[in-house]
Amino acid sequence: MDMTRRFTITTPIFYVNGAPHIGHAYTCIAADVMARFHRLNGEDVLFVSGTDEHGQKVEQTARSLGKEPQAYADEISASFRQMQKDMAISTDEFIRTTEDRHKNAACALWEKVAANGFIYLGAYEGWYSTRDEAFIGEDELVRKPDGTMMAPSGAPVERVKEPSYFFKLSEFEGRLLELYENNPDFIGPHGPKREIESFVRQGLKDLSISRTSFRWGVPVPNDPDHVMYVWFDALANYLTAVGYPDLNNPRARFWPADLHVVGKEIARFHCVYWPAFLMAAGLPLPKSVFAHGWWTVEGEKMSKSLGNVLDPKALADEFGLDALRFFLMREVPFGGDSNFSRRSMITRTNVELANDLGNLCQRTLSQIARNLDGVLPERGALTEDDQAILAMTEVLPTIMTEQIERKAITDALEEVWKVIRAANAYIDRQAPWALKKTDTARMADVLRVLVDVIRAIATLLQPYMPDTMAKMLTQLGVEDSERGFDALETPLPGGQILPKPTGLFPRFVEESA
Ligand code: ME8
């Protein structure tokens, strides 16, 4: 039997109503770091993303541009795929909700939930926010200063009255609370968890899950006057990715998902509606949902009208893709809100990448090149100082694995930086450049210790900065096949000639205006 642990991770599928921006890139990069980490840890990973192409908002946006919704969706979906390529996102599957395989999965889920008695036909009368694609309860409405009503997000609402299928959400209150209670890690982090629990505790009403006032959606099985509510359709994408409803296909073993990574504004859909739909269908529930915070730009909410929407590609072109990925993962503890400031981006690039990591590597490898003809020395006798830095390095994979399990991707990075700072202090203390004149054998031992430390650092940082760390590992003489975390247990063979080192993290110099 194959005992390899499998790990299924997803991003939200993104609406196709505008070009991807830094917020979308952020979610994708965070999920990518975790997917890559689990792969390098020897697990069998399925990493899913995609585009959410139905709903009134997409239809309206397409029409306002004089386009057919499908043609418009094709165009924007392609731009999300391109963004993922530009950001080195290693998705295994990209779901588009307009694909037949997805419509089949959504219909199969609907039919199962209906067959189990959890769907009934009624009429919906109330408020709808097209911008949020959400039904808004009377008690959730917020009065604007001019007296009109809006959704809690600030989006406009309209009164709708139409026949609608309902999902018996009210029957799941107890089971959902039990789910959160018995699985404390189901929702992370704490803030969204508290909000979700109190939302459910206040009582759940049945949920309208079909619309008749527009056409751009998946037709309801056996009643094509209705299209599915876009969130019923969208959430089903996670099942499409595992080949649902064919339970015998090879992908089926990737269900249930281990982790749905989402922004905090859509935590409710993933922590309340989604598990309830799955319970109603009798399907296994995902293990966890993690809701991360929101990025603002120079202190402002990103918006087209302010013209401050950040294009991830432009930033990657300017700073380097890995510097951007590093900055986004480093700037804010994963889960919290953050602000993108150019100043901070430049400081981190220069201090943490160019100085801390870049110099450590450059100082070590240039001395091997210059003073040892580029030959990697064997491990020598270890002093206490050597043992201390090596011991810190050896526990790093275990510490990071534990952090990544907790989705603490920023803390995991901080653990690496502790070792980087300690290694810089070690090199200053040992001063191999001075040993060159007094004790070349000891100089070689010190440089070898440093190579071992940097090798572990580069191996463990691959999920965050895949391209640069691949180059660093090549400079350290690490074979392509020896880059998984388990390879760290085998020492690098001494005696090999290392490639000529080149700087990997240039300092960023702001061009003066
Ligand atoms: O909600 N900061 O799609 P969406 C951080 N289609 N993350 C941000 C962000 C920001 N400023 N802006 C967007 C939808 N995001 C639905 C999802 S899933 C079955 C259906 C990220 O295009 C964040 O992950 O509005 C957020 O949850 C997602 O983009 C919303 O993307």
- In terms of Cα–Cα distance, which of 366, 418, 361, 430 is closest to 392? 418
Tens place of pLDDT for every residue, the chain, 513 residues?
678 899 999 999 999 989 999 999 999 999 999 999 999 999 999 999 999 999 999 999 999 999 999 999 999 999 999 999 999 999 999 999 999 999 999 999 999 999 999 999 999 999 999 999 999 998 899 998 888 999 999 999 999 999 999 999 999 999 999 999 999 999 999 999 999 999 999 999 999 999 999 999 999 999 999 999 999 999 999 999 999 999 999 999 999 999 999 999 999 999 999 999 999 999 999 999 999 999 999 888 998 778 899 999 999 999 999 999 999 999 999 999 999 999 999 999 999 999 999 999 999 999 999 999 999 999 999 999 999 999 999 999 999 999 999 999 999 999 999 999 999 999 999 999 999 999 999 999 999 999 999 999 999 999 999 999 999 999 999 999 999 999 999 999 999 999 999 999 999 988 765
User: Whose alpha carbon is nearest atom 27 of ligand 1?
Assistant: 263
Residue nearest to ligand 1 atom 29, measured at CA: 24
Work out which ligand 1 atom sits closest to the CA atom of 301.
Answer: 11
Q: 286 CB less than 6 Å from ligand 1?
A: no
Nearest to 273 by CA among 230, 214, 225, 241: 230
Distances (CA, A) of 467 to 154, 420, 458: 41, 19, 11
CB distance 34 to ligand 1 below 6 Å: no
Asked if residues 319 and 274 have their Cβ atoms less than 8 Å apart, the reply is no
- Domain at 6-118+231-306, CATH homologous superfamily: HUPs (3.40.50.620)
Q: Is 13 in the pocket of ligand 1 (CB under 6 A)?
A: yes
Radius of gyration of the CA atoms of the chain, in A: 26
Complex prediction ipTM: 0.99
Contact 407, 334 (CB under 8 A): yes
CA 260 to ligand 1 center in whole angstroms: 12
According to CATH, the topology of domain 342-497 is Isoleucyl-tRNA Synthetase; Domain 1 (1.10.730)
Nearest to 140 by CA among 148, 152, 153: 152
* Ligand 1 center to 263 CA (angstroms): 6
Give the predicted TM-score (pTM) of the model: 0.97
Query: How far is it, in rounded angstroms, from Cα 323 to Cα 486?
Result: 26
Edge to edge, what strands does the sheet with 210-211 contain? 210-211, 223-228, 219-220
The rounded Å distance from CA 226 to ligand 1 centre is 26
Amino acid (one-letter) located at 311: D
- Is residue 192 helix, strand or coil? helix
Protein residue closest via CA to atom 23 of ligand 1: 263
What is the 487 CA–ligand 1 centroid distance (Å)? 37
- DSSP character string of 363-386: HHHHHHHHHSTTBPPPP----HHH
Span(s) in the chain for CATH 3.40.50.620: 6-118+231-306
